[in-house]
Structure 1
Amino acid sequence: MTVILLRHGVSTSNTARTLAGHTPGVELTERGTEQAAAVADRLATLPIEHIACSPLLRCQRTVAGLADKLGLEPQHDERLIEVDYGEWTGRPIAELLSEPLWKVVQGHASGAVFPGGEGLAQVQQRAVAAIRDTERRLADKAGRDVLWVACAHGDIIKSILADALGLHLDSFQRIAVEPASISVVRYSPHGPSVWKFNDTGADLSALAAGTPPQPAPGGEVPGTASADNGNAGHRDSP
């Protein structure tokens, strides 16, 4: 199975620099809507057979155009929902920087539990389970490899990538996942392999052929966006 992990486009909470969490009705900005349209154009050329997404509005909006192009009905998966930040929900990130827990989130994520909300270890467990359960179900039904999309949130995707890379959750903040970026993980009997991460514009034709992109000299995959391309300020997570 190959899953394309798609982060939602820039939201109103991203631009306001607040933690949206489970807040209902958080929309995409004009830029986020443009990103969603561009992602739909990129991905619609691939043989995608299933779309799963967080039930929150910003993720629904991000996959709507792609679903229309592919003739698929997105399936909401509660396990892909954003972190429940509890009492931190809706607060400005600048205000949270002085909280002692902020340093824990950055350096010891596996021990971070948001007041009145979830722990990040719990979040990773449910997010990875959502991906693995879906890929097993699709494989059993099709009897072959299936390419599919999971649209979620920054911390959700980072936790899935950390698991796929064999990184401890305490290192997941080293992974950049920008709005509307895609990351690609292939699951096989030998374990997961990460083909792309934080990609915002590379050619994806190799996915249709079932062949991973080959690194250029120096180890970089041609066309893959760097971890810092000027949009790192758009975040809805610590």
Structure 2
Amino acid sequence: MATVILVRHGRTTANASGLLAGRTAGVSLDQVGRDQAALTGERLAVVPVVAVVSSPLERCQQTAEFILARQSGSPATPTAVDLTECDYGQWQGRTLSELAAEQLWSVVQSQPSAATFPGGESMAAMQARAVAAIRRLDAAFEAEHGPNAIWVAVSHGDIIKSILADALGVHLDLFQRINVNPASVSIVRYGESRPSVIATNTDGGDLSWLSSSPPAVDAPLGGGAGHQAPTAPIA
């Protein structure tokens, strides 16, 4: 199957102030977030992607623009509603410090599969629609561009964590063990028999190997030789 690069949006004004933004309109990247997104765009400039798919929320659209600005080709730019942020319902717009005092907070931390946000969606439903969207889009891009196609999905922290948990084959109750920082890059390749998680939560490093030596379909016994390290410039 194709390879998907999962990118979380850069830091926002809400992130910086400890607010749970959720699906609130008008939440934008702050200067740190813009710098983070620009760096991610620079990292991905060496990878010719066939599409940059984004959540409809502003912070993801802004992050996607930084990635598209560094692409030499003309990737498709669809918006995917199913990659939007979790519907936190009545928790939306409240501070994390305030929410930590709620009884539901401990459920979110230790058994997220049982958590349903008041007036919102359950974390299990969030994972189901996000994973279905990623797998559907991945299959479509492979059908159109071939098995070596690489595409980008720009989304949100809990969304990406839930996708990675599914790809790793771990229960949603373990997804809080996964970290996904602002503007970080994670990479998954969906094979015929199972997904392969190539990288998680990276915020630096060369990615040019993705286009020159795409991830293998089968897992190499013994770990394999890996990808070729970038050549250091001659002083």
Q: Secondary structure in 1 aligned to 2:40?
A: helix
The aligned residue for residue 228 of structure 1 is none
CA contact (8 A) 2:44 2:67 kept: yes
Map residues 117-156 of structure 1 onto 2, 5 A cutoff.
117-156=120-159
Query: After TM superposition, what 4+ stretches of structure 1 lie above 6 angstroms from structure 2?
Result: none
**TM-score, reference length from structure 1:** 0.87
User: For residues 110 and 210 of structure 1, what CA distance do their matches in structure 2 show?
Assistant: 37
3-state SS in 2 of match to 1:149: strand
1:74 CA displacement: 2.1
Q: TM-score, normalised by structure 2?
A: 0.88
Which whole-Å deviations, capped at 9, do the CAs of 1:13-67 have from their partners, x for residues lacking one? 1001011000001010100001111111110110211111100000000010221
Q: Is the 8 A contact 1:5 1:183 kept in 2?
A: yes
Q: 1: distance between equivalents of 2:146 and 2:182?
A: 33
Looking at CA atoms only, which structure, 1 or 2, has the larger radius of gyration? 2
Contact 1:206 1:212 in 2 (8 A): no
The reply to whether residue 83 of structure 1 matches residue 86 of structure 2 is yes
Distance in 2 (CA, whole Å) between partners of 1:113 and 1:150 is: 25
> Aligned to 1:108, which of 99, 111, 127?
111
Q: Alpha-carbon deviations, 1:102-161, whole Å to 9, x = none?
A: 000011000100000010000000100111000111112224321000000000000000
Paired amino acid for 1:47? P
Which residue type is aligned with residue 204 of structure 2? Answer: G
Counterpart secondary structure, 2:211 = helix
Please state how far the C-alpha of 1:73 moved relative to its aligned partner: 4.5
d(CA) in 1 for partners of 2:208, 2:193: 24
What's the secondary structure of 2:5's corresponding residue? strand
Unaligned runs of 5+ in 2: 217-225, 228-235
Q: Does 1:2 align with 2:12?
A: no
The corresponding residue for 2:180 is: 177
What is the letter of the counterpart of residue 37 of structure 1?
A
Distance 1:12-1:37 versus aligned 2 partners, 3 A rule: same
* Cα RMSD after superposing both structures: 2.2
Alpha-carbon distance in 2 for matches of 1:119, 1:4: 25
- Counterpart residue identity of residue 124, structure 1: Q
- State the secondary structure of the residue aligned to 1:75: coil
Q: Distance in 2 between matches of 1:52 and 1:211?
A: 20
Confirm or deny: 8 A CA contact 1:67 1:73 kept in the other structure: no
Q: 1:75 & 1:129 partners in 2: Cα distance?
A: 16
Between the aligned residues of both structures, percent identity stands at: 49
Instruction: State the aligned residue count.
Output: 220
- Unaligned 5+ segments in structure 1 are 214-220, 223-238
Shift of 1:69: 2.8
Match of 1:197 in 2: 200
Paired with 2:49 and 2:146, the residues of 1 have a C-alpha distance of 16
Supply the AA of the counterpart residue of 2:137. T
Q: How far does the alpha carbon of each residue in 1:76-103 deviate from its partner, in whole angstroms, 9 at most, with x for none?
A: 1000000010000000000011100000
- For 2:210, give the aligned amino acid: L
Q: Does 1:58 align with 2:48?
A: no
Deviation at 1:190, TM superposition (A): 1.8
CA–CA separation in structure 1 for the residues paired with 2:131 and 2:20: 22
Task: Indicate the residue corresponding to 1:160 in structure 2.
Answer: 163
Question: Partners in 2 of 1:205 and 1:111 — Cα distance?
Answer: 40
